[in-house]
Structure 1
Amino acid sequence: MFFSTHVLPLVLGLIRILPAAADPPLPPDIDGFYKPEDDSWRDKDPGYIIDHRPVHLPWLIPGAESPLTAHQLLFVTRNASNEPTTSVTTVIRPQYANPQRLISYQIAYDSPDVNCSPSFGLQRDAELTATLWNQLQMAYVVPYLMSNKGLLGQRPFINVPDYEGNNAAFTVGPQSGYHTLDSIKAALNSQKYTGINPRAKAIMFGYSGGGLASEWASELHATHSPDLNIIAAAIGGPPPNVTNTYIHVNGTQSPLNIWAVLGVMNAFPEVDTFLRGDVKLDWGSYFLGPLSRCSRPKPKPPAIPGWANVTDWFKSGDEFLYKFKHILDENGVMGRRIEEGKRPNFPLYIFQGTDDNITAPIEDTDKLVERFCEVGTKVRYVRYVGKDHGATLIKGMYPAWTWMSARFNGFRVKKCTTKDVVKDGDDDGDDEDSDPLAEIDWDLDEEDEESVLRSNPLHEGDL
C-alpha cells in the first residue's frame, strides 16, 4: 500500500505546486523532434537512434530539483504491418544507477491521442491531462528510483517507450510489442548519451495497457528480437482478447471501449473509414472527441458516460466486431504467435484479479498462461481472488517488484506455477508453493556478489 498512500499524494503535490518553466515542452504533434528530417532512417535496423535530446523531469518533492536525468531517443521501429516507422522513448537515469540493469516500463497511457504519449506527459510543465496520466504512474516504479542496495537492490535505468507509436494505435498489440522491443534496443544503443551498458540486463514491466504492450513484446521477442538481452517480464492485468474485453466492459467502462476503437482506427484506414461513416450523428462528437484528449481541444468534447452502450452509437450496431474480425484477432488476441521454438526464452510473472472489471474475463488469462506453459515458457501466475482491476494493482505491486528484483539478482525460475491469493497474507510466501526456493535456482553473476537474501527479504514476497 506504500505507493498508493504515500507516493501518489506526493506526485499530485508535485504536479500542482512546482512553478511553471519559461518554455513548456511542445506536444508531439507539433514538436519537430518527433519527425525525422529525411528518409535516410528507413533502411536502418530497428533500434537505430535517429535523434536524441535531454529533457527535464519533475520530482516527488514539491519545489525540489529532480535528481533524475533523462534522455529521449527518436528511434527506428516497425508498425502493425511490420513496416518501418519511428517512435520515441524516454530513458531515465536515477542517482546511483546500475548501468547493468534496465527496466522497460510500459505506462498504461491508453489513448488514441499522440499528445498523451509518455515522452510528453513525463516532462516538467507538460499539458495537465498528459501529465496526470503519465506522472502518476511513475509511482509504480518509485521504489526502484529511490532504493540503493536495499529492499529492491541497486537502482536500474528506466526505459519508458511511446509504444502506441506516432499514430497512437492503442490496443494494436503487434505495434506495441515491436515498439517496446525496439525501444529497449535503442536504450541499449544509447551509452554515450545515457551511460547505460549496451549489455545491460532488461526486465519488462507493465500493468493493464502497459501489460498489453509487455505481453506482446514477450510474444514477439523470439521472432523480432531473439538476441535482445531480456531476462524477465512482469505483466499485470493484461487484456488477452480485445474483443472479449470490449464486450466485457461495454456499459460499465465505456470510455475505454471508445479509446480502444479509435486506436484501431488510427492503425487501419479501412476501419477508420467504416466507423466514421457508421457512427450516428448524435454521438459523433462523443465518439471522436478522445482523438484530442490531451490536445486542449476547443470546444472541449462532451465526456463519454461510463454507462453508455457503445454499440448503440453505430447504425450497424456491433457489426464492426465481425466485419473486421481478422484485424481484431491478428492484433488483439494474445497467444497466437507463440509455439515451440518461437516463445519467450525468459520467465514471466503474470498477475490478475479474478473479478477484473476492465481488461477481460479471468478465463482468457488462464488460457494465455496455459499456452505459454505448453510451449515451455516458465510462468509464475498469481490470481487475486475477488479483486478487481484497481485492487489487484495495489495488492500485486510489491510481489511483482520482489520477483523482478530476484531476477536481477540471479534467480532462475524452474517451472510454471499458479497461486490463488484468497485473502491478505496469502502471497506472503508462507506456503510451499510460494517459497522462492521452490520456484528458482541460484544462478548468480559476478556483478551480484552481494547476498541476495540480505538485499531482498524474499520471504515477504511472492515469487
Structure 2
Amino acid sequence: MIRALVITALLLSGGTAAVPAAAHAEPPPLPSDDPFYTYDQPLTTTDPGTVLRSRPAPFAFPNLSTPITSTQVLYRTTTQQNTPTAAVTTVLRPLVPGPTRLLSYHMAYDALGSQCNPSYTLTGRTDSPGAVMEQAVIAGYLTAGYTVVVPDYEGLHLEWTVGRQSGYATLDGIRAAEQILGLPASTPIAMSGYSGGSVATEWAAEIAPHYAPELTLVGAAAGGLPVHLAHNLPYVSGSADWAGVIPAMVVAFRRAYNLDTAAFLSERGAQLTDAVETMCLGQFAKRYPGLTDAEMVRAPYHSLLDVPAAAAAVNDNIMGTAGTPAVPLLLAVGQSDPIGDSVMVARDIEALAHRYCGSGVPVTYARYQHHDHIAAFARFQAEAAQFLTDRFAGTPPTTNCASVGPGNSLAPVPIPAG
C-alpha cells in the first residue's frame, strides 16, 4: 500500500516514475561512522544555523528509488546547556517549482542509535514501518509543492525527549535550509510533528520568538505530545506496549544531563539501559512488557522521580516553560482509555492548550476519541495537512479555546532531598 501511494504521489507531481532501487554495491556507513556527521572546529564564534558542510543524497524507500534528490546539511546549533554543537538536516525540494512554502517536518524517530536518524532512513536505509509511513507523508507534502526540511533534531548524540535542544536544532535547521536554498527571510514556514516529532515542533514554537525571531513562521501542528514526562512515566510503567521507553529515557537523559546512573539504577535497570542504548523505538518500546519504574532503581529509591538529578531533568523538559508561541497551533491527542492514548496524557495536552489560550495564542485542541497513540497518527496527519494548507494560504486562524478545560497541573515535581 505505501509503495503504491508513493508511486502515485510522485507520478501526480509530474516527475518520472519511481522505480525499484538498484542493488547497492556497498551500503553507506552509519552516521556514527560517517565523517560527514563530525565537526571538530571551534563553533563559539559561529552563528546558530550556519551551514558547515553539505552533500547531495537520494530520497528513497526500501527497494524503491524516486526522482527526488535531497541535500544533507551539517549546521551549527545549540545544546540543552546552551553550548554550541552541530546537527544534520535533510532538505527536499518539490519536483514542480512554485512559490516556496517551507515545512519543517519532524519524524518520530525516537532513537538512541544513529541508524534511526532521518538523514539516514530517508535514503532508503530502514526496516521501520513507522519511518516508511512518515516518509510517505513527506512524499505527499512534496507532491503538494512544499519544500520539506527534516532535521535530525535529537542531535549527534541522539538525546531523545530533550526539549529545548530539539527546538534549537529545528529552528537552526530551518535557518540552514534557507541558506542552502537562497531563500529570503520573508519565506513562509510551518512546522509539524507527531509523538517524538511533537517534541521538536512544540519546543521550537515556544522558543522561536526569542531564539529565531527573524523566521517567518505561520503555524505549528503537534500531535501526541509528551507534555510532562513525570506524568507519562507512571502511565507507561507496567505497560505491555510502552514500558521499554523507560530505560530508553534514562539513556537519553544520561547523555544530555550527564546523570550518574550507576548511583541509582538497579542491576536490572543497568542491564536494560545497556541493552537499549543503540536501539530505535520499534526495537525497545515493546521489548520489556510489564517493566515498572520501580524495577529500574535500587534502594532507597522507589521511582526514578525519587532521584534528585532525574527529577530535575524531567522538570527541565516540561512543555510551556520556555516561552509562548507567536503562531497558531494545532495540538492533538488520541483518547483510548481514561488517561489518554496509552502513552500520552490527554489532560496534559489540554492543560498546555489552556495555558497558550490564556496567553492569546490561537489554539485548536483536538482529542480523537477511541484512538490510541498509533491509530491517532492518521487522524492527526489529515487534520495537520488542512491546518497547514490554511496557514500558508493566510486563512485567519480558528480556535476552540472557549471549550478547552484547564487539564492537569503542569507544576514541576518536587525535587527530593539529596
Q: TM-score range by the shorter chain?
A: 0.7 to 0.9
Partner of 1:439: none
**CA–CA separation in structure 1 for the residues paired with 2:155 and 2:329:** 25
CA contact under 8 A between 1:383 and 1:418: conserved in structure 2?
no
Paired position in structure 1 for 2:222? 235
2:44 aligned counterpart, secondary structure = helix
| Structure 1 position 215 matched with structure 2 position 169 | no
Alignment of 1:44-63 (within 5 A): 44-59=46-61, 63=64
* Cα deviation code 1:247-271 (max 9, x no counterpart): 11111111122222211111011x2
Q: C-alpha displacement at 1:7, in angstroms? A: 4.0
Question: How far apart, CA to CA, are the structure 2 residues paired with 1:227 and 1:409?
Answer: 20
2:71 counterpart of 1:71: yes
SS at match of 1:326: helix
Does the 8 Å CA contact 1:169/1:267 hold for their aligned counterparts? yes
One-letter code aligned to 1:268: Y
Tell me the CA shift for residue 8 of structure 1: 8.6
**Equivalent residue for 1:345, pick from 320, 323, 326:** 326
1:123-151 CA distance string (max 9 Å, x none): 23x3x45x65533321233322223xxxx
The match for 2:131 among 134, 138, 143 is 134
Using the alignment, how far apart are the partners of 1:263 and 1:414 within structure 2? 37
Does the 8 Å CA contact 2:344/2:373 hold for their aligned counterparts? no
**3-state SS, counterpart of residue 20 of structure 1:** coil
Q: Secondary structure at the match of 2:327?
A: coil
Residues of 2 paired with 1:215 and 1:116: CA distance? Answer: 21
- Superposition TM-score, scaled by structure 2 size: 0.84
Residue in 1 aligned with 2:114? Answer: 114
Q: From the superposition, tell whether residues 303 and 280 of structure 1 become closer, same or farther in structure 2 (CA, over 3 Å).
A: farther
Pairing 1:194-209 to 2, within 5 Å after superposition:
199-209=186-196
Aligned counterpart in structure 2 of residue 190 of structure 1, from 176, 180, 187: 180
The separation in 2 between residues aligned to 1:391 and 1:132, in whole angstroms, is: 14
Amino acid of the structure 1 residue aligned with 2:243? S
Gap change, CA 1:366 and 1:302, over 3 Å in 2:
closer
Secondary structure class of the residue paired with 2:199? helix
Q: Is the 8 A contact 2:296 2:304 kept in 1?
A: no
Secondary structure of 2:24's counterpart equals coil
1:437 — aligned with what? none
The percentage of aligned residue pairs carrying the same residue is 28
Question: 1:319: how far off?
Answer: 4.3
Q: What is the CA–CA distance in structure 2 between the aligned matches of 1:209 and 1:290, rounded to whole Å?
A: 17
Return the offset for 1:97. 3.9
> Is the alpha carbon distance of 1:211 and 1:358 closer, same or farther for their aligned partners in structure 2, counting shifts above 3 Å?
farther
Gaps of 5+ in 1: 12-16, 148-154, 295-299, 421-463
The alignment yields a C-alpha RMSD, in angstroms, of: 3.0
* C-alpha deviation, 1:19, in angstroms: 3.9
Residue in 2 aligned with 1:14? none
Question: Quick check: 17-26 or 300-309, which moved more?
Answer: 300-309
Query: Given residue 327 of structure 2, which amino acid in structure 1 is its aligned partner?
Result: F
What is the rounded CA distance, in whole Å, between the counterparts of 2:79 and 2:184 in structure 1? 27
Q: Is the 8 A contact 2:354 2:401 kept in 1?
A: no
Q: What is the distance in 2 between the residues matched to 1:110 and 1:302?
A: 10
* Number of aligned residue pairs: 387
| Kept in 1: contact 2:363–2:399 (CA 8 A) | yes
* CA distance in 1: counterparts of 2:401 and 2:3, whole angstroms: 31
The partner residue of 1:334 within 291, 316, 319 is 319
Q: Which 5+ residue runs of structure 2 have no aligned equivalent?
A: 10-19, 405-418
C-alpha separation in 2, matches of 1:46 and 1:66: 32
2:235 alignment partner AA: H
Matching residue of 2:233: 246
Q: Distance in 1 between matches of 2:351 and 2:284?
A: 39
Matched, 1:146 2:133: no
**Contact 1:286/1:303 (8 A) holds in 2:** no
State the shift of 1:234 in Å.
0.7
Tell me if structure 2 keeps the 8 A contact 1:191–1:198: no
* 3-state secondary structure, aligned to 2:32: coil
Instruction: For residue 198 of structure 1, report the CA deviation from its aligned partner.
Output: 5.1
Aligned to 1:397: 381
The alpha-carbon distance between structure 1 residues 367 and 240, as it changes in their structure 2 partners (threshold 3 A), is same
CA 1:419–1:399: 2 relative to 1, 3 Å: farther
